[in-house]
Amino acid sequence: MGTNGSGKVALVTGGSSGIGEQAASQLQAAGFTTYAVARRVDRMAALAERGVNTFAMDVTDEASMSGGIERILDEQGRIDVLVNNAGYGSYGAVEDVPLEEARRQFEVNLFGLARLVQLVTPPMRAEHYGRIINISSIGAVIYEPFGAWYHATKWAVDGFSDSLRVELRPFGIDVVLVHPAGIVTEWNEIARTSLVERSRDGVYAASAVKAAKAMESVDNPRLSSGPEVVARTIVKAATAKRPKARYATGKGASTVMTTRRVLPDRAFDAILSRMYLE
C-alpha cells in the first residue's frame, strides 16, 4: 500500500469516542473512504460532519455486524482496512464479578472482533489485499489485580491475532496488533468505576478503592497520552507498505513492555502489590 489511503475503504468499530473517533478522523484525512460504527450514532455527529460515514453497529449482535459489513460492500464494493477498536474494561475481584459479566467482556473484546474478521476475510481475500488492525492493550503484556477478566480478553486477542496473521498472510492480508499504554479516554473511568461498584464491600473493599485511585492517578495528560497518538499509530499501520506485527504506542508503552520482559514474575507481583493493594 502507498503512503495514503486514496481509493481504499476503512471500517473502524467503537467510533463514538476516544481512540475510535480519532482513528476514523485521521484515516479520513489520510484519504480513506472511512466508516465509523458504534452503538450510539448520535455521538458520531462530529465525524459525520467531517465526511466520515457513520451508522449503528453492536459487536455483540450477529445481524448488526453482518448487515453492517453487507452495507459497506454494497456501497463500496470492498473493505481494505478493518480497525477492531470496540472494547471496554470490566474490573473487579474475580470473586465479585458475575460470570455473565465476564462472558459479556469476552463477547465485546474478543468474539465481536473475531466475527468481524470472519465477515471481512472473504472480500479481502478476493482482492488479495487487506489489513486487519486489532486494538489490543499493554494489558496483554502485563496484568493487574482486579483486572483478571479484562486482561484475559486482551491476552486472548493477542493469541488470536498472532495465529490469524500467519493464516491470512498467503492471501495478501496483514494482521496488526496495536498495544496502547495509558490513554486519556472514557475507558479508565469506566474501568475504575466498575471496580469500585463490584468490590467496594467485603474483603476487597480497601484494596479496590486503593486500586481505583492508582488507576485514576495516571489518567491525566502528564502520565498518559491522548487518543490521537494511538490514531496516528493506526494510520501508520494502515498505510505502511510492510506493517509491523505489533506496535506499542503511548507514553511508557515500550518501557512497560521491556520491564515486564526483564523482571521475574515475583518482582513484578511485588510492584503491583505496592501500587494497588498495600
Residues with active-site annotation: 150
Q: Which three cell numbers stand for residue 42?
A: 448520535
H runs (alpha helix) in the chain: 18-29, 45-49, 62-76, 99-106, 112-127, 148-168, 186-199, 205-217, 227-239, 253-262, 265-276
H or E stretch including 9? strand 9-13
Phi, psi of 176 (to 5 degrees): -125, 135
Q: Which three cell numbers stand for residue 33?
A: 473512504
Burial of 43 (0-12, 13-18, 19+ CB in 10 A): middle
Under 8 Å CB-to-CB from 152, ≥6 apart: which residues? 106
- Residue 221: closest CA among 270, 182, 273: 182
